């Protein structure tokens, strides 16, 4: 019998008197104690995002049950709210409850994001969360740009795992709304090491890469694992490919034999040799040695220090400089020269003024999507004393830009040479030093370094 036939037969049988009699004659019932309802999983997912307030579009009793479970799990009070739907809302719909509830949740608790899920009551009557949210924004319950994640989580189907997945999707959609650029797919994924304690998840990351159609993955050594800016490449690092591409990789390849390691060219489908096929080998060895020296716990600590350092810089400089992406950052924070235009000071001037104080400038004019970007990545290697010195200098330059802008525009003034002609350096680069030659008419020769 086909699957469709089995389903139809079973559906007809459960409505018979025979099934009813057998059902009520049972002496025991098997219950899965690890299976909870969808909204509980949605609350759990929302708790993983800083400053997010879980919000149930449903009855207050359900929310109390979820709070009780999660408070016991976390061993501390678990914040969550509902819009207290009652019998009248179950009949006429809960739009007014949600409009008023979102306003109260936003104004009283001041969260960074609200994550809305549903209960059985609102799902039975078919409340449209998206339409209700649009109405709440029009009524001024929440600001137009304030993130509100939505997830339909009916308790009568699925489990807490289903609700968890639905809420994560809703949060991703809420935070990415309006930021998608058609025709500009991203080509990068940042994996922050050390925060996932489960090594087996590496297999899952590989599966994700395969699902996305990734054939090649370049593990970039760029200010990571004790490598310098650009990794000596720029962008040096191991390149991994799917097995279908393995036969075509360049030669020679390092292979293990009974006698040790040796180079091998025995790959008939290889594309052959490529220039500098070893890459920046020393940088790879350095990164590997760093990882082996630190171990798993050490890499976790290094990652935490890098993220902490970036957020320390962000927190102390925001206000003096325009922060391109407000909120907590990961390993880098991005400011810009916005606000200094009226004083005629640009990012390049700030970078040159840093030289006067003994600091080489951080990455400037990148990312390209931020006009006048100043991207600061302190990594895990800088001490708090060094960070404080750098921050104090940056604060001083910001003050100078507003009160003595000409001093910033003239920088550097305390270095062996003044500001160089960068356009000329790009058009006529001098890539090796030559001893100075006799000057002509009192001017240095072109071949002398500037």
Cis ω on the peptide bond leading into residue 50 (within 30° of 0)? no
pLDDT at 198: 57
Cis ω on the peptide bond leading into residue 126 (within 30° of 0)? no
What count of residues does the chain have?
A: 450
Phi, psi of 149 (to 5 degrees): -85, 140
Q: Are residues 135 and 99 in contact, defined by beta-carbon separation less than 8 angstroms? A: yes
pLDDT at 229: 67
CB neighbours of residue 105 within 10 Å: 23
Exposure on the CB side of residue 210, measured as CA atoms within 13 A: 9
- Name the residue among 147, 120, 131 with its Cα closest to residue 39: 120
Element (H, E) at 208: helix 201-211
For residue 246, the 8-state DSSP code is G
Average pLDDT over residues 224-247: 74
Q: Which stretch of 282-296, 298-312, 434-448 has the lowest confidence by average pLDDT?
A: 434-448
Q: How is the chain split into domains, by residue range?
A: 38-176, 213-288, 297-419
pLDDT at 234: 52
Does the pLDDT value for residue 439 go beyond 60? no
pLDDT at 269: 95
Q: Which stretch of 122-131, 173-182, 190-199 has the lowest confidence by average pLDDT?
A: 190-199
CA dihedral for 84, 44, 328, 235, sign (positive or negative): negative
For residue 321, the 8-state DSSP code is B
H helix and E strand count, the chain: 15, 12
pLDDT at 288: 87
pLDDT at 445: 47
Q: Which has more pLDDT, 302 or 346?
A: 346
Cα angle 356, 373, 409; round to 5 = 35
- 38-176 homologous superfamily: Nitrogenase molybdenum iron protein domain (3.40.50.1980)
pLDDT at 364: 92
Structure tokens at 32: 């899965």
- Per-residue confidence band for 423, with pLDDT thresholds at 50, 70 and 90: confident
Q: Are residues 118 and 153 in contact, defined by beta-carbon separation less than 8 angstroms? A: yes
| Candidates 3.90.1150.10, 1.25.40.80, 3.40.50.2300, 3.20.10.10; CATH matching 297-419 | 3.90.1150.10
SS3 per-residue string spanning 69-113:
HHHHHHCCCCCCEECCCCHHHHHHCCHHHHHHHHHHHHHHHCCCE
Structure tokens at 10: 């079973």
């Amino acid at each position: 019998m086909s699957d469709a036939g089995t389903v139809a037969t079973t559906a007809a049988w459960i409505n018979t008197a025979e099934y009813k009699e057998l059902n009520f004659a049972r002496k025991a019932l098997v219950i899965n104690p690890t299976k909870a309802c969808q909204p509980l999983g949605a609350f759990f997912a929302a708790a993983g995002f800083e400053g997010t307030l879980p919000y149930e579009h449903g009855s207050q009793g359900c929310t109390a049950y979820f709070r009780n479970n999660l408070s016991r799990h976390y061993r501390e009070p678990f914040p969550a709210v509902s819009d207290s739907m009652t019998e009248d809302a179950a009949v006429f719909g809960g739009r007014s409850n949600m409009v008023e509830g979102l306003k109260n949740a936003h104004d009283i608790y001041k969260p960074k994001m609200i994550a809305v899920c549903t209960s059985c009551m609102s799902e039975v009557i078919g409340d449209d969360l998206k339409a209700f949210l649009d109405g709440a924004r029009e009524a001024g319950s929440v600001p137009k740009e304030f993130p509100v994640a939505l997830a339909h989580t009916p308790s009568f189907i699925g489990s807490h795992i289903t609700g968890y997945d639905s809420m994560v999707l809703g949060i991703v959609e809420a935070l990415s709304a309006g930021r998608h650029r058609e025709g500009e797919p991203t080509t990068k994924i940042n994996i922050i090491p050390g925060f996932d304690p489960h090594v087996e998840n590496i297999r899952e990351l590989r599966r994700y890469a395969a699902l996305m159609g990734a054939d090649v993955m370049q593990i970039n050594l760029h200010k990571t694992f004790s490598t310098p800016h650009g990794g000596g490449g720029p962008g040096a690092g191991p390149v991994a490919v799917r097995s279908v591409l393995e036969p075509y990789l360049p030669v020679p390849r390092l292979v293990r034999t009974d006698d040790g390691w040796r180079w091998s060219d025995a790959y008939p489908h290889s594309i052959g040799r490529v220039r500098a096929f070893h890459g920046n080998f020393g940088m790879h060895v350095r990164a590997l040695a760093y990882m082996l020296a630190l171990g798993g716990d050490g890499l976790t600590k290094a990652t935490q220090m890098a993220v902490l350092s970036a957020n320390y810089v962000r927190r102390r400089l925001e206000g003096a400089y325009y922060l391109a992406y407000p909120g907590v950052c990961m390993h880098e924070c991005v400011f810009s020269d916005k606000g200094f235009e009226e004083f005629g000071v640009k990012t390049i001037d700030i970078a040159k003024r840093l030289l006067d104080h003994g600091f080489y400038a951080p990455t400037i004019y990148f990312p390209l999507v931020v006009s006048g970007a100043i991207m600061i990545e302190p990594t895990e290697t800088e001490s708090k004393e060094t960070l404080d010195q750098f921050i104090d200098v940056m604060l001083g330059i910001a003050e100078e830009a507003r009160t003595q802008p000409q001093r910033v525009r003239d920088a550097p003034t305390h270095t062996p040479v003044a500001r160089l002609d960068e356009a000329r350096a790009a058009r006529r680069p001098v890539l090796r030093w030559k001893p100075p030659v006799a000057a002509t008419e009192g001017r240095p020769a072109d071949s002398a370094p500037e």
